[in-house]
Amino acid sequence: MLEQEDNLRLKRLPFIYLLVFLAMLGLVIRLGVLQIVHRQEYKEAANQVQYTKIPLLPRRGYLYDAHMRLLAYNQPVYNLVYMRVAKMPPLTQKQISQLAKGLGVAAKPLQAAAETEHTCDDPAILLEALNEKQIAYVSEHQSQYPGLRIVESTRRCYPYGPLAGHLLGYVHPQSPEEVAYYQKKHYLSSQRVGLTGVEESYEALLQGSVGYEVWKINPFGIPTRLMGVDPQPQAGQSLRLTFDSRLQAEGQNLVAQEVQRVRQQQGQHLVDAEAVMLDVHTGAVKMMISYPYIDPNWFVNPILYKKHSHYLNNPILTPAINHSLSSPRYPGSTVKPINIIAGLMNHVITPSTTIFDEGHEMVGTYNAHDWKWNGHGLVDAKRAIEVSCDTFMYDLGMWLAEWHDHQPAGEKFSYWYTHERILGLQKLFDWEWKFGLGPKTGIDLPGEVTGRFYTDDVIHHDIAPYDVVGMDKAIAKGKFLPNHGLLYDNAFAAIGQMQEFTPLQLAVSAMMIANGGEFITPHIVDAILTPDGKKVVQTVAVQRHSLHIPKTYMRVVQEGMEAATTHKEGTATRFFVGSAYKVAGKTGTAEISQFGKKTDISLFVGYAPAIHPQVAIAVMVPGSAGTSDAAVPLAKKLLDAYFCLSAPHGSNHSLANDATEWLQSFAYRTTEEAN
């Protein structure tokens, strides 16, 4: 029996050996096919799919105010990105629809983002700031969507909303037109970039440099193993700005309240208002306000942008524009102090030159009236500023053109018209230009524009632009640019009716009067800091140059501006009665056109204290009632706020209280409610 069983086993062994042999042969053949037939295919697949680089975007530098209060930082978020590796099939429309349904968002934006050309090391961002449910959905279904990945990122955050919104700017995705520009600077197309404000002007410093994670991935494009980071991302440098956020907040609230007051009490439809305050010794911006306001967070968050888009794109309100440096307007009498200096420096008047003002002056055949119908009586240069005497300025403007009731004796009118008249205008405009009225100031903010100069055009019965720089070059060559102005253009230019300047330019001119004629480049950034903001890397250097004006001439203007706020007949005295500090200032009004309608603009420029000045200020309120009753009281309140916060007790406020006050303020609430 045992022998039969052994024989049966022996008979089975060949079959077992055959099966084992066939199995081994199959494996060998399969290995051969893989190694020989598909060798190149799998080699390419291994090279293409085995590793990929995932960018690590750098932390953008922070923005701080002058006292290191945080004004802009980065909030951690998770983004959904799409990295399509070589030979990976694109996501189908069905997959996109399923993904959109799972995420609870619209499919069209996801489809558009997925179809853009992106590489593994510059993935497309499909969705930003995922919530917990969205993160869970992608994690559970990642194998269904090859190439999708959740990555850590940041979203720019501005904790005080519209506080200094025009100064800070905001970050946004690169537009299709910007991608090529930033690629040359080695940016990824997924990197957010600064737009307007400090975010734009200091983009290169704030941005930092990209790092990369090196990942091993499977054939489905899913990263499976982190191999390392090379190179490490480098955070952007932080910046300390020149202004105290408490003063900026108080200023914005005061401007918003003043606009509301004028609207209600005077029935005027004010659209905008501006104020600029500069340190007269350093050019540092202490305050820059352009009403109405914007919240930079609106541009970062698509939901908020949609909510406020009607307000942001309102062609009348134009809240996105920083009018303080982008909107030149007629300066009116605020240029009279500068034009007095032009007369003194060209020796057509002296500090003691006196006229008798009867309320009007014949300029050629035109009877030019003073704002005071019965005149100011005896007026010298200092009093001309104090009472804002138009008649004195008419004479000065014509005297600069060698016109003393007529052209010079023995000179033909035609020669005077084509030579002396233009030279007189050029002398006036040239000194305004030297005092920062007209040229770009060079401030470290984008969007600044030059001022504008005009003359009438008797041929085309219109106004024509006047090129101050071009005329200077032509005169240097013994020539003149074509100009067909009216005889009395010179007189009207002397009272600020033939030129337009920005509030920033007006503030610079006041600063230069305060410091004795020294131009200092205004600036908004005080220092470049380490990324953590703990150390100063570099303080910002500014350009300076002096006009070397005799002190006796400067005193005429300075004392005239002080008299305008303190003497009985001063045009601004009633607003500064009882003030704890003395101000030197100049009021102004002018007729302007807004939206096809004629209206008036209220202006004030000045500095304080009048002795040993600290700050210069310019306030502009377009659309007011043709008096100083809007700009001057507002300037007074802004100066009060400055000196209050500059006092020893002013620095004792807790940051929590300051933040709470701002977030409950009229300016904050009305801005956030705008839509």
Q: What is the pLDDT of residues 268-288, one digit of tens each?
A: 778 999 999 999 999 999 999
Regarding whether 193 and 134 lie in a shared domain, the answer is yes
SS3 letters across 358-422? CCEEEECCEEEECCCCCCCEEEEHHHHHHCCCHHHHHHHHHHCCCCCCCCCCCCCHHHHHHCHHH
Kindly state whether residue 7 falls inside one of the protein's structural domains: no
- How are beta strands 211-217 and 51-56 bridged, if at all? antiparallel
Cα(74)–Cα(58) distance, integer angstroms: 11
| pLDDT tens, residue by residue, 386-399 | 999 999 999 999 99
Query: CA angle, corner 426, sides to 622 and 497, nearest 5?
Result: 20
- How are beta strands 360-363 and 366-369 bridged, if at all? antiparallel
Query: Which of 500, 525, 540 is the endpoint of a domain?
Result: 500
Give the tokens for residue 261: 């007051």
Q: For residue 87, what pLDDT is reported?
A: 64
Q: Which residue has the tokens 């020149």?
A: 242
Regarding whether 228 and 94 lie in a shared domain, the answer is yes
Regarding whether 237 and 97 lie in a shared domain, the answer is yes
Environment class of 173 (CB within 10 Å of its CB; exposed 0-12, middle 13-18, buried 19+)? middle
In angstroms, how far apart are the furthest CA atoms of the chain? 156
**What mean pLDDT do residues 455-466 have?**
93
| pLDDT tens, residue by residue, 530-566 | 999 999 999 998 999 999 999 999 999 999 999 999 9
**What mean pLDDT do residues 175-201 have?**
92
Cis peptide leading into residue 231 (ω within 30°): yes
| pLDDT tens, residue by residue, 54-84 | 888 899 999 999 999 999 999 999 999 887 7
| pLDDT tens, residue by residue, 349-389 | 999 999 999 999 999 999 999 999 999 999 999 999 999 99
Regarding whether 538 and 477 lie in a shared domain, the answer is no
Could you report how far apart the first and last alpha carbons of the chain are, in Å?
102
Kindly state whether residue 441 falls inside one of the protein's structural domains: no
Q: For residue 12, what pLDDT is reported?
A: 66
Q: Which residue has the tokens 């300066």?
A: 331
Nearest to 67 by CA among 645, 613, 643, 644: 645
pLDDT at 266 over 90: no
Least confident piece of the model among 345-349, 361-365, 597-601? 597-601
| pLDDT tens, residue by residue, 501-524 | 999 999 999 999 999 999 999 999
What pTM was estimated for this model as a whole? 0.89
Residues 294, 180, 72, 511, CA torsion sign: negative
Nearest to 499 by CA among 643, 598, 617, 397: 397
Query: Which of 241, 262, 296 is the endpoint of a domain?
Result: 241
Q: What is the CATH number of the domain that holds 579?
A: 3.40.710.10
Q: What is the CATH number of the domain that holds 198?
A: 3.90.1310.10
Kindly state whether residue 653 falls inside one of the protein's structural domains: yes
Q: For residue 214, what pLDDT is reported?
A: 87
pLDDT > 70 fraction of the chain, expressed in percent and rounded: 91
Kindly state whether residue 625 falls inside one of the protein's structural domains: yes
Regarding whether 287 and 217 lie in a shared domain, the answer is no
Kindly state whether residue 272 falls inside one of the protein's structural domains: yes
Regarding whether 121 and 229 lie in a shared domain, the answer is yes
Regarding whether 591 and 493 lie in a shared domain, the answer is no
The DSSP secondary-structure symbol of 56 reads E
Regarding whether 427 and 390 lie in a shared domain, the answer is yes
**Run of H or E including 103:** helix 93-103
How many CB atoms lie under 10 A from the CB of residue 654?
Answer: 8
Q: For residue 120, what pLDDT is reported?
A: 66
Q: Residue 574 sits in which domain range?
A: 246-326+504-672
Most confidently modeled of 42-46, 75-79, 511-515, 652-656?
Answer: 511-515
Least confident piece of the model among 102-111, 580-589, 628-637, 649-658? 649-658
Give the tokens for residue 209: 């440099």
Q: For residue 164, what pLDDT is reported?
A: 98
Nearest to 115 by CA among 104, 126, 103, 106: 126
Total number of domains in the chain: 3
pLDDT at 6 over 60: no
Q: For residue 44, what pLDDT is reported?
A: 61
Regarding whether 509 and 387 lie in a shared domain, the answer is no
Average pLDDT score over the chain: 90
pLDDT > 90 fraction of the chain, expressed in percent and rounded: 71
Phi, psi of 619 (to 5 degrees): -130, 135
**What mean pLDDT do residues 141-145 have?**
87
DSSP assignment of 430-494 equals HHHHHTTSSS----SSTT----EEEEEETTTTEEEE--HHHHHHHHHTT--------TTHHHHHH
How many CB atoms lie under 10 A from the CB of residue 482?
Answer: 10
pLDDT at 451 over 80: yes
Regarding whether 531 and 463 lie in a shared domain, the answer is no
- Residue 484 banded pLDDT, cuts 50, 70, 90: very high
Q: For residue 607, what pLDDT is reported?
A: 98
Kindly state whether residue 40 falls inside one of the protein's structural domains: no
Regarding whether 410 and 493 lie in a shared domain, the answer is yes
Cα(603)–Cα(635) distance, integer angstroms: 9
- Residue 119 banded pLDDT, cuts 50, 70, 90: low
Regarding whether 350 and 302 lie in a shared domain, the answer is no
- Residue 11 banded pLDDT, cuts 50, 70, 90: low
User: String of b and e for 347-381 (b: at least 16 CB within 10 Å)?
Assistant: ebbebebebebeebbebeeeebebeeeebbeebbb
Kindly state whether residue 31 falls inside one of the protein's structural domains: no
| pLDDT tens, residue by residue, 611-623 | 999 999 999 999 8
Cis peptide leading into residue 331 (ω within 30°): no
Nearest to 274 by CA among 617, 572, 597: 617
Q: For residue 146, what pLDDT is reported?
A: 84
Kindly state whether residue 536 falls inside one of the protein's structural domains: yes
Cα(337)–Cα(571) distance, integer angstroms: 14
**Run of H or E including 27:** helix 2-32
- Can you name the residues that pair with 482 across neighbouring β-strands? none
How many CB atoms lie under 10 A from the CB of residue 182?
Answer: 17
List strand residue ranges (DSSP E) for 338-444, in order: 354-357, 360-363, 366-369, 377-380
DSSP-derived 3-state class of residue 383: helix
